[in-house]
Structure 1
Amino acid sequence: MELTPGGQARGAALRPSRAFGVPALLAMVVAQVASGLAARPERFTALIVVLLAVSAVAFAAGEWGLRRAIAAFGAAVLTGYAAEVVGLLTGFPFGDYAYTAMLRPQLAGVPVVVALAWGGMGLAAYAVAAAVAPAGWARVCVGAGALTAWDLFLDPQMVRLGLWTWAEHGPYRGIPLSNFAGWLLVSALVMLVVGRVTGGAGPARGLLVLYGVMAVMETVAFAAVFDPPDPLVAAAGGITMGAFAALAWRRPWPR
């Protein structure tokens, strides 16, 4: 069978996804399950985030090319890290919070894995937005919403594990609403920089899978695995992330 130039290019593009993205994603699922069953689940946090980052970059490289994928990931990491440093120093835009010493290493009080998480899920949320909305402010807004939806799971879980604390008790499992307003703002900045670096690249199938897998795993964890379970967080995060995932998968993908 003879491959066309387009087919050869497509096959080459899929290699990073198959070689690194899929194994990293499967390993992340295993690590998530292990953390849910472990007596000290916080010990798995760094491993899960690293696997998330590897799978995100690999899936992005399969569609956008390796250089653009790495550049987009780096831009998202730096944007999230800068926002975290400003947040710790000033309380803006998230509110008054602090990281404990449980996540190491830290730079200027910000755990490195937190910055990596901004990068990995930032790429996944951008892919969701690219599948739903045209380039421009519509894509930025959708992506910001998709990334903030993840925090409906993330913050309750990390507070539960004692990885960071809030100065004031908020209405959503102790988390102030200012946190989610800050997430929307920073997530919009992440969407802007990823879009600029990638030249407005389209959706990456692997990243859409990553986003959907994360939504399912977090929903199941809060509904049935964590002790005690938390149906409120399972419903809030599952419905919100699930809605964004469903919108992304129902759209026709460009050839």
Structure 2
Amino acid sequence: MTATGIPAAPSAAGRAGAALLAAMVAAQVATGLQPRPILLTSVVVLLLAAAAVAFAAAVHTLPRAAAAFAAAVAAGYAAEWIGTRTGVPFGDYHYTGLLVPQPGGVPVIVALAWGGMGLAAHAAASAAAPASRAARVALGAAALTAWDLFLDPQMIRLGLWVWHEPGPYRGVPLGNFAGWLAVSLLVMVLIDLSLPDPAARSTGLAALYTVMAVMETIGFAVVFDPPDPLVAAAGGICMGVFVLLAWRRRWRK
């Protein structure tokens, strides 16, 4: 908003973010129509990461957005590198060779996903609780972990990684989600510390989180073959809670 109360025109970064988000939606739709969409899956993550950085740059400047994204990517990569070697914090698993490149046995695209969705989850939490760093970090970590209710079952379907001891949630061990929450807390702290005004609201990033929630829910409910109502409901409800929290202040105006 400007000082006169008139909505400010979208910045170049904001317009770029919107274009990248639209491209991501198109790629996500194409992914759901393919039987083995490995390449398109990587394209979706690349567009997700680029859109997240662009939307963050529109609010925080490009250097700050890039720093926050890089911190989240580094934390995600480190967690995956340690996890594939020790089973901590996610459980015993390994990546197959389908996602490349894999420096140190961890696909680069996976680390980029931590960064892109980390920024989106942090923005959703900032919209829900702008006044409290502790609340932003806690809500953001929970919002990012909610996304994994979709991510792990989908990646197992595609054969991108394998659990050594499958668990009860579509083959995913429940301890994996505790590990995701722990790493997500670190990611949220790093993002929060990297931004000059971490409580500043990014409508674009909140929209990115919302779009991911909607697209994943629809995908598991009716698009994927076979559909999976359990994952659609679990992921849709959990991510939906944070979508509602992120937008409730704007809806009340």
When normalised by structure 1's length, the TM-score is: 0.93
Q: CA deviation at 1:120?
A: 0.2
What value does the CA root-mean-square deviation take over the aligned residues? 1.8
Q: 1:80 aligns with which of 67, 76, 80?
A: 76
Matches within 5 A, 1:147-186: 147-186=144-183
CA distance in 1, matches of 2:72, 2:101: 19
Deviations, residues 39-79 of structure 1 (Å, cap 9, x unaligned): 32222111110000110001111111111111111111001
**One-letter identity of the residue aligned with 1:109:** G
**One-letter identity of the residue aligned with 1:93:** P
Where does structure 1 differ by over 6 angstroms across 4 or more consecutive aligned residues? Answer: 4-7
SS at 1:115 equivalent: helix
Give the corresponding residue for 1:119: 115
Confirm or deny: 8 A CA contact 1:150 1:241 kept in the other structure.
yes
Confirm or deny: 8 A CA contact 1:64 1:201 kept in the other structure.
no
Give the corresponding residue for 1:37: 33
Structure 1 unaligned residues grouped into runs of 5+: none
CA distance in 2, matches of 1:23, 1:15: 11
Confirm or deny: 8 A CA contact 1:14 1:63 kept in the other structure.
no
Identity %: 63
**One-letter identity of the residue aligned with 2:221:** A
Q: CA deviation at 1:168?
A: 0.5
> Are residue 104 (structure 1) and residue 100 (structure 2) matched?
yes
Mean Cα displacement is larger for which, 194-203 or 20-29?
194-203
> Are residue 247 (structure 1) and residue 245 (structure 2) matched?
yes
SS at 1:51 equivalent: helix
CA distance in 1, matches of 2:39, 2:219: 16
Q: CA deviation at 1:17?
A: 1.2
Deviations, residues 211-238 of structure 1 (Å, cap 9, x unaligned): 0000000000000000000000000000
**One-letter identity of the residue aligned with 1:214:** M
SS at 2:216 equivalent: helix
Q: CA deviation at 1:89?
A: 1.3
Give the corresponding residue for 2:91: 95
Structure 2 unaligned residues grouped into runs of 5+: none
CA distance in 2, matches of 1:47, 1:135: 35
**One-letter identity of the residue aligned with 1:190:** V
SS at 1:143 equivalent: helix
Q: 2:42 aligns with which of 39, 46, 50?
A: 46
> Are residue 129 (structure 1) and residue 125 (structure 2) matched?
yes
Deviations, residues 116-145 of structure 1 (Å, cap 9, x unaligned): 000000000000111112332211110000
Give the corresponding residue for 1:234: 232
Deviations, residues 170-198 of structure 1 (Å, cap 9, x unaligned): 01001001110000000000000000010
SS at 1:251 equivalent: helix
Give the corresponding residue for 1:67: 63
CA distance in 2, matches of 1:52, 1:6: 33
Give the corresponding residue for 1:24: 20
Give the corresponding residue for 1:203: 201
Q: CA deviation at 1:112?
A: 0.2
When normalised by structure 2's length, the TM-score is: 0.94
Confirm or deny: 8 A CA contact 2:127 2:199 kept in the other structure.
no
CA distance in 2, matches of 1:68, 1:181: 29
**One-letter identity of the residue aligned with 2:136:** R
Q: CA deviation at 1:6?
A: 8.7
Mean Cα displacement is larger for which, 134-143 or 109-118?
134-143
CA distance in 1, matches of 2:12, 2:28: 25
CA distance in 1, matches of 2:153, 2:161: 10
CA distance in 1, matches of 2:212, 2:58: 20
